[in-house]
């Protein structure tokens, strides 16, 4: 089976309707045609008919409708010896834009793209998650509007917003739920507020879910099912299923593995209020504490991490030893995840994994020792190739998926001319 087909269902799966314009029902043929064009899987009428199994006349009728509404464009490419010159169908740049936001403890990434997910502009704002939603969200919306203006897209409506947060997220309600050390965010209606600010439906998701989606769609060798494990200030996991969608669980809490209790550390207090959590003994914060290094200075939230990464890159034996110890603790939990979910790829992400091989090596050794079975026979364990960009890329992937879902296309048609 072709890899791309394996990853993506023929039609995007339905998701909970986000706040925004009510969707109108979309004819199946029209949705099929638009999906093939949006995914660049077919760019001509003949190709669409062949791939969809729809009659040529039906395809022609749907394309005329999408052209009339300005959602797709048809351009002449090259020359034909006889007959009509070849034409190619693409999503119109005028059809709208997508805005994505990725909030982290250190900074906030913002990007605007066209409906295909092709980047128009991006920026990194000096806004940390601790800034709180009342200040952060309006500042982000303002930056999105400025980026659109600077790139001549003022008249192009924002069709979908996606916000990634370093917190457990209620995906249906679009708000973070009881995030440790994020004052002001608990239960804050992030989706509703962004919809109010940018006039577009908004999805809110956990940061590692988006990183996993970015790795699965755009990373190299990221075969699904893909498990992404992020080791930073906290520890979290995101799982992209064989169908190419994020496994969020019943309440959006899937992957919150940092608060798994590890044996032998009952005296260590975690930011969540419990003791002996994986995050409390093996996150970057725990490694810094073990090395007696301060986490941040008043003007630099990433001071400790930067110094740690320098020490690791220089082969500092004590720092490498602490990372190796953390890797053993993380490996025990990862081995259990591998046995439970049988991923094809395990991506290790975060600054320490980027700075040295020690974390990957120790996790890999524990996983193969503990989970030696059918589940590890073809398992690839590797570090992220997208690095810090994975989250923002995943947010774009989710925004595109949502835009061309049945609900999204309904809204697109409902508001197009």
Neighbour tally for 114: CB within 10 Å? 21
Minimal distance, residue 262 CB to Zn ion, in Å: 10
β-strands 235-240, 226-231 pairing: antiparallel
Question: Which CB, 274 or 370, lies closer to Zn ion?
Answer: 274
Minimal distance, residue 269 CB to Zn ion, in Å: 9
Minimal distance, residue 182 CB to Zn ion, in Å: 14
CA distance 218 to 220: 7
Half-sphere exposure of 23 (CA within 13 A, CB side): 21
User: How many Å is the Cα radius of gyration of the chain?
Assistant: 23
Phi then psi dihedrals of residue 79, to 5 deg = -130, 150
Give the residue among 130, 97, 100 at the shortest CA–CA distance from 114: 97
Question: Which CB, 214 or 236, lies closer to Zn ion?
Answer: 236
Question: Which CB, 270 or 398, lies closer to Zn ion?
Answer: 270
Question: Which CB, 143 or 259, lies closer to Zn ion?
Answer: 259
Minimal distance, residue 37 CB to Zn ion, in Å: 46
**Three-state secondary-structure class, residue 283:** coil
Contacts of 82 (CB under 8 A, 6+ apart): none
Question: Which CB, 49 or 270, lies closer to Zn ion?
Answer: 270
Question: Which CB, 277 or 381, lies closer to Zn ion?
Answer: 277
Q: Which spans of this chain sit near Zn ion (rule: CB under 5 A)?
A: 259, 270, 272, 274, 277
Minimal distance, residue 68 CB to Zn ion, in Å: 55
Encoded tokens for 385: 């190739």
CA distance 223 to 227: 10
Minimal distance, residue 286 CB to Zn ion, in Å: 11
């Amino acid at each position: 089976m072709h890899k791309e087909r394996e990853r993506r269902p023929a039609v995007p799966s339905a998701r909970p309707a986000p706040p925004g314009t009510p969707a109108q029902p979309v004819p199946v043929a029209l949705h099929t045609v638009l999906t093939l064009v949006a995914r660049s899987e077919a760019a001509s009428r003949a190709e669409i008919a062949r791939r969809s199994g729809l009659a040529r006349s039906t395809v022609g009728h749907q394309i005329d409708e999408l052209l009339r509404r300005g959602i797709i464009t048809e351009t002449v490419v090259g020359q034909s010896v006889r007959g009509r010159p070849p034409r190619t169908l693409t999503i119109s740049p005028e059809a709208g834009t997508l805005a994505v936001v990725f909030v982290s403890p250190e900074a906030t990434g913002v990007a605007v793209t066209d409906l295909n997910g092709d980047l128009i502009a991006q920026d990194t704002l000096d806004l940390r998650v601790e800034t709180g939603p009342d200040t952060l969200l309006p500042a982000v919306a303002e930056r999105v509007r400025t980026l659109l203006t600077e790139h001549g897209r003022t008249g192009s409506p924002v069709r979908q917003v996606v916000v990634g947060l370093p917190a457990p997220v209620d995906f249906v309600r679009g708000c973070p739920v009881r995030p440790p050390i994020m004052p002001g965010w608990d239960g804050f209606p992030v989706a509703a507020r962004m919809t109010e600010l940018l006039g577009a439906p908004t999805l809110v998701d956990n940061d590692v879910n988006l990183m996993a989606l970015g790795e699965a769609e755009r990373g190299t060798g990221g075969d699904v099912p893909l498990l992404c494990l992020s080791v930073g200030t906290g520890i979290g996991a995101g799982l992209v299923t064989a169908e190419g969608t994020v496994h969020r669980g019943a309440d959006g809490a899937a992957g919150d593995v940092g608060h798994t209790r590890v044996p032998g550390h009952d005296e260590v207090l975690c930011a969540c209020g419990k003791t002996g959590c994986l995050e409390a003994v093996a996150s970057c914060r725990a490694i810094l504490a073990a090395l007696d290094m301060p986490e941040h200075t008043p003007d630099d939230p990433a001071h400790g991490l930067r110094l740690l990464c320098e020490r690791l890159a220089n082969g500092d034996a004590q720092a490498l030893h602490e990372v190796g110890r953390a890797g053993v603790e993380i490996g025990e939990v990862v081995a259990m995840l591998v046995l439970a979910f049988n991923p094809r790829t395990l991506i290790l992400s975060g600054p320490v994994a980027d700075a040295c091989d020690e974390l990957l090596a120790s996790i890999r050794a524990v996983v193969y020792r503990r989970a030696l079975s059918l589940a590890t026979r073809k398992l690839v364990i590797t570090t992220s190739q997208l690095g810090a960009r994975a989250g923002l890329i995943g947010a774009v992937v989710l925004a595109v998926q949502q835009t061309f879902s049945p609900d999204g296309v309904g809204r697109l048609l409902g508001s197009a001319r």
